[in-house]
Structure 1
Amino acid sequence: MGRLLVIGGGAAGTAAALALHKAGFEVTVFEAHPDAAEDIGAFLTLASNGMRALAQIDAAPAVTALGFPLTGMRMLDASGTERASRPLGEAEDPVLRFRCLRRGDLNVALQAEAARRGIPIRHGARLVSVHEGPDSVTAHFADGRTATGDLLIGADGLNSTVRHSIAPTARPRYAGEQVFYGRTADAPRLAADGLITFVRGRTVAFGHTASPAGETFWFARVAGDPLSPEEFANGTPARRRDLLLALLREDATPAAGIVAATAGDLLVTNATELPGGMRWRSARCLLIGDAAHAASPATGQGASMALEDAVVLAKSLRDAPDLDTALTTYETLRRPRVEHNITVSGDISRGTHARPPAPAPRPGDEDLIRLLEWDRSLTDAR
């Protein structure tokens, strides 16, 4: 196989490029934004499975240089009473510890690592259409340029242009919650380093952690109707903070004080998900990451699942005898796991815990370790 085109320079696309490059493929990344700092105000947590995927493509050092590790969690109820505490993920391994960092910083670090390895990244390349031929696929960009390759990988997120060409009727749907994100340097430190606290309030699910430098990162999930486009356009951080504070003050927890100490660094979004069973591929196009399996953020697995995608895709293309077999292998291995995450995360967001009548099996921890291990063929891993 010759040239691979990756549409989207976020975590999913850039990690896929790193993995494909390691597997020996020629790959170019096309990113619509003019720079790498998309979503600079939001933060995320990479779980141990995501960090393991990064380690397999030699990208863990670039990420562990950012943010801070999380080694434990605790759960509070609405009265502020601690109900549970435990280690978080593979806390004993410094490389595999959960990591809290800003989304924009993750994008910048992965793109810098790609550039260091000689992988081209074309910024300002906004995809408008895809044309598939019998022997190649061509991407058409808004500035009139085109690029042709053997396979086009759509890592262009929730509102994917590539997905529209593969599954034009598939639409993101509201998952039942508004999600707030904020950070502040003015809140008091409430726990030891490396600890994330979850609060199960009467009407709000809240979480917070603090960096070693004293900056508090927090999120809040609020069930209710989705915010309208007009509310997004006209809302201000102060107005959103006041609405959230009114709910948080119903509980005797630190949450209201943390939010009250937050000034302008506050974002809100509607939790969304993609329906299970939608098409991920055509003959020469494949969706990965949020473009294929966006889930509500309740499980905190979106970025980590995308990093898993990158490794499994590269290994599928490396180990399979032809493109169709590779894409079939990839989908067979990934769909049960990521669609299980969509279901579980959606259940949490909607306050339900029902399972599908016949839930598909998904790889467990040991299966996932074997699957991600770079030097193990996919035949051996299954």
Structure 2
Amino acid sequence: MTVEHALIIGGGIAGTATAMALQRGGVAATVYEAYRTTADGVGGALTLAPNGRNALRQIDADDAVAAVGIEVPGMVMQNHTGRPVGRFDGLPGLPSSLLLRRDRLYRALMDEAIGRGIRVEFGKRLTAVEDEGDKVTAHFADGSSAIGEVLVGADGIRSAVRSTLDSAAPAPRFTGLLGFGGWIPNPGLPTTGAYQHFAFGKRAFFGYFIDEREILWFSNVPAADPAEAKTASPQHWLAALRERHADDIPARDIVALLTPEDVAQPGPLEDIPTVRTWHRGRVVLVGDAAHPTSPSSGQGASQAIESSLELARALRDVPTVAGAFAAYESVRRDRVERIIARAAKINNDKAAGPLARIVRDLLMPVMMKTVMTPEKMFGDLHHHRIDFAARR
């Protein structure tokens, strides 16, 4: 055992999962969250992939998360006319993906962590990190500080901890897409039968899931300037979505149900292809602080949970902090950077021009039966398993 107590900066998905994984590995952790309250009601939807669920099972947290999610057996790909061009079903022997409201996933993990005796402090915005060789001190904006043996930055794509490790760390990269989405009541549209649907529209990408009560929808709209997300009005965006999806079925019918309030907070899709420095001394990064991928990967939460397990395993099994951090990075970096690059290619396809869209729509039905089968597309992602009990 190299470490007995860790400071975790960030109380989101990565932070709470890391705290539980460390606890399972014999390391006590305290979580410090910048915001003064829990993030209830904040965020849209996300998918937890089978590999993410298998990672949660290693720390006995999958049941708590599954209780607030919707199991989806697969997804259907469509063109702008609504015609299916392919279908991905789940892979044999793996759990179903879970469709989740982000705040419910957050709350399930937070409640589970607190229920296990993990201490969480709110209103603790990090201002500085002081690494003293045998210990590390976190300083907060309220004038308080905390001392631990290691400090874990689980504070997202704009990580303050990452900046302390590398003052010249690259900023998030805009992918060329703005993201819209949310949940609205279903006035009577046909359900999707538990399947998620994804449609390459003529001028934007659209996704949806419909049950008897609600519709989950999202749209990825090509944009030249991410600042538009903050400067344009909701009325502007509602008109833009109606124009972008005017020829798309059934996107236009779902967009017709939206109000300006439903599109009031678009966000730029961002990533960082390579975070150069994952750790230094007694400070290390996890989740989006270390490997931020755009939402198009469908793997952000799953990869954060996987990394939390591998970090906890390394701290449990490797005799030095430096060795543990190096072992953690060596087993994670290649996998997560391949996923980030894969998502970047998906983003390019979502923003395809007219000619590229025509070629894509012609080739996709054939590709879905050959090079884009579920096993070839998702086998390396979804079959990935971490045996947390096994010693290094």
Pair in the same fold by TM > 0.5:
yes
Match of 2:324, SS state, is helix
Q: Distance in 2 between matches of 1:89 and 1:268?
A: 33
Q: Which residue of 1 aligns with 2:258?
A: 262
- Indicate conservation of the 8 Å contact 1:40/1:102, yes or no: no
- Indicate conservation of the 8 Å contact 1:296/1:345, yes or no: yes
From 281, 285, 288, the equivalent of 1:287 is 285
Question: Offset of 1:265 from its aligned partner?
Answer: 3.4
| Match status 1:186 vs 2:186 | yes
> Structure 1 residues 104, 277: closer, same or farther in 2, change over 3 A?
closer
Q: Which residue of 2 aligns with 1:373?
A: 387
Q: Which residue of 2 aligns with 1:274?
A: 272
1:332-347 matches, cutoff 5 A: 332-347=330-345
1:300-319 matches, cutoff 5 A: 300-319=298-317
Q: Which residue of 2 aligns with 1:359?
A: none
> Structure 1 residues 344, 6: closer, same or farther in 2, change over 3 A?
same
- Indicate conservation of the 8 Å contact 1:226/1:270, yes or no: no
Q: Which residue of 1 aligns with 2:375?
A: none
Question: Offset of 1:277 from its aligned partner?
Answer: 4.9
- Indicate conservation of the 8 Å contact 1:274/1:292, yes or no: no
Q: Distance in 2 between matches of 1:121 and 1:294?
A: 24
Q: Which residue of 2 aligns with 1:357?
A: none
Question: Offset of 1:234 from its aligned partner?
Answer: 4.2
Of stretches 81-90 and 4-13 in structure 1, the one that deviates more from structure 2 is 81-90
| Match status 1:244 vs 2:266 | no
Match of 2:280, SS state, is coil
Q: Which residue of 1 aligns with 2:374?
A: none
Match of 1:368, SS state, is coil
Q: Distance in 2 between matches of 1:150 and 1:350?
A: 43
- 2:279 corresponds to which letter in structure 1? R
> Structure 1 residues 41, 375: closer, same or farther in 2, change over 3 A?
closer
Question: Offset of 1:222 from its aligned partner?
Answer: 1.7
Q: Which residue of 1 aligns with 2:380?
A: 364
Q: Distance in 2 between matches of 1:232 and 1:367?
A: 37
| Match status 1:177 vs 2:177 | yes
Q: Which residue of 1 aligns with 2:98?
A: 99
Question: Offset of 1:241 from its aligned partner?
Answer: 2.1
- Indicate conservation of the 8 Å contact 1:71/1:89, yes or no: no
- 1:145 corresponds to which letter in structure 2? S
Question: Offset of 1:199 from its aligned partner?
Answer: 0.4
From 328, 344, 354, the equivalent of 1:330 is 328
Of stretches 135-144 and 191-200 in structure 1, the one that deviates more from structure 2 is 191-200
Match of 1:364, SS state, is helix
Q: Distance in 1 between matches of 2:245 and 2:262?
A: 18
TM-score normalised by structure 1 residue count: 0.89
Q: Where does the alignment leave 5 or more consecutive residues of structure 2 unmatched?
A: 357-378
Question: Offset of 1:250 from its aligned partner?
Answer: 2.7
Q: Which residue of 1 aligns with 2:368?
A: none
> Structure 1 residues 367, 185: closer, same or farther in 2, change over 3 A?
closer
Q: Distance in 1 between matches of 2:325 and 2:308?
A: 13
- 1:284 corresponds to which letter in structure 2? R
- 1:376 corresponds to which letter in structure 2? A
Q: Distance in 2 between matches of 1:39 and 1:5?
A: 26
Question: Offset of 1:367 from its aligned partner?
Answer: 7.4
TM-score normalised by structure 2 residue count: 0.87
Q: Distance in 1 between matches of 2:60 and 2:118?
A: 15
Of stretches 273-282 and 183-192 in structure 1, the one that deviates more from structure 2 is 183-192
> Structure 1 residues 367, 204: closer, same or farther in 2, change over 3 A?
closer
Q: Distance in 2 between matches of 1:144 and 1:165?
A: 18
Q: Which residue of 1 aligns with 2:120?
A: 121
- 1:36 corresponds to which letter in structure 2? T
Q: Distance in 1 between matches of 2:181 and 2:51?
A: 23
Q: Distance in 2 between matches of 1:190 and 1:151?
A: 52
> Structure 1 residues 223, 232: closer, same or farther in 2, change over 3 A?
closer
> Structure 1 residues 270, 186: closer, same or farther in 2, change over 3 A?
same
Of stretches 33-42 and 197-206 in structure 1, the one that deviates more from structure 2 is 33-42
Q: Distance in 2 between matches of 1:366 and 1:67?
A: 18
Q: Which residue of 1 aligns with 2:215?
A: 216
Q: Distance in 1 between matches of 2:315 and 2:194?
A: 38
Of stretches 169-178 and 141-150 in structure 1, the one that deviates more from structure 2 is 169-178
Deviating 4+ runs (over 2 angstroms): 186-193, 231-239, 262-267, 350-353, 363-368
